[in-house]
């Protein structure tokens, strides 16, 4: 579940919809607190992820495009010196379009997948509802929702044991608070999410 939180496809911005000419491109990262000495980490992940003593995080490219009635986002990360890749995407659909006096209320669906590890596959799915309100260049926002992780691991066959397939499906609630600051150049976003563990995300982007 900790790795699932790290690769969750959050575009790291308030949910909503923008016009067809709108786009945003930036670099984001989500960090999750972990124990690198724990047996599960040593056996399942090891040194494949960039880590400090307490956190794991992978920088990723995030692109968001307005569709008029919705926003669509895609993200990609590749771990250096490995064949591991993380692909993700999300779709924002507004329920209430915000105005000068009203907030924006929107639904977000998301999906991410980790590939490149022969003996391990991981997919995440998310459904969240976002509330945000802009005040000049500052837009605070909050969200509640669910994340599901679907993991499959393989223990290779040996001369005395057959191949063993291990699977795990887990659900977790997500509670997010964040803020976007729209400068002339660039835009800055930070958010914190409480799920199974606390995670923190940040993004620096440009667009119009």
Q: State the residue range of the domain holding 60.
A: 2-207
Q: Three-state DSSP class for 72?
A: strand
Q: Average of pLDDT values for 152-174?
A: 83
Count the domains in the chain. 1
Looking at residue 51, its pLDDT comes to 52
CATH number at residue 41: 2.40.160.20
Residue 80 is predicted with a pLDDT of 67
Residues 6+ apart with CB under 8 A from 39: none
- Report the distance separating Cα 62 and Cα 25, nearest Å: 6
Rounded Cα distance between 158 and 153, Å, is 16
Counting beta carbons within 10 angstroms of the beta carbon of residue 138, is it exposed (0 to 12), middle (13 to 18) or buried (19 or more)? exposed
As a whole number, mean pLDDT of residues 68-83 equals 88
Of the two residues 78 and 156, the one the predictor is more confident about is: 78
Asked if residue 17 has a cis previous peptide bond (ω within 30° of 0), the answer is no
Tens digit of each residue's pLDDT (9 = 90 or more) over 106-162: 999 999 999 887 778 899 999 999 999 999 999 999 999 999 999 888 777 777 778
Query: pLDDT by residue (tens digit) across 175-200?
Result: 999 999 998 889 999 999 999 888 99
Share of the chain above pLDDT 70, in %: 88
Q: Is the pLDDT of residue 203 over 80?
A: yes
């Amino acid at each position: 579940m900790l790795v699932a939180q790290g690769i969750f496809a959050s575009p790291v911005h308030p949910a909503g919809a923008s016009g067809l000419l709108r786009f945003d491109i930036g670099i984001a990262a989500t960090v999750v607190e972990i124990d690198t000495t724990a047996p599960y980490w040593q056996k399942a992940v090891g040194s494949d992820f960039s880590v400090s003593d307490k956190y794991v995080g992978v920088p990723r490219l995030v692109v968001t495009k307005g569709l008029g009635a919705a926003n669509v986002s895609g993200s990609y990360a590749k771990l250096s010196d490995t064949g591991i890749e993380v692909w993700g995407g999300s779709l924002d659909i507004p329920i209430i379009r915000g105005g000068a006096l009203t907030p924006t209320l929107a639904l977000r669906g998301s999906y991410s997948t980790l590939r490149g590890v022969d003996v391990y596959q991981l997919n995440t799915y998310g459904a969240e509802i976002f509330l945000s309100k802009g005040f000049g260049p500052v837009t605070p926002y909050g969200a509640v929702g669910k994340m599901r992780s679907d993991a499959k691991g393989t223990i290779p066959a040996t001369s005395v044991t057959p191949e063993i397939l291990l699977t795990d499906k887990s659900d977790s609630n997500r509670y997010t608070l964040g803020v976007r600051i729209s400068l002339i150049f660039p835009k800055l976003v930070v958010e914190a999410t409480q799920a199974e563990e606390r995670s923190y995300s940040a993004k620096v982007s440009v667009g119009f």
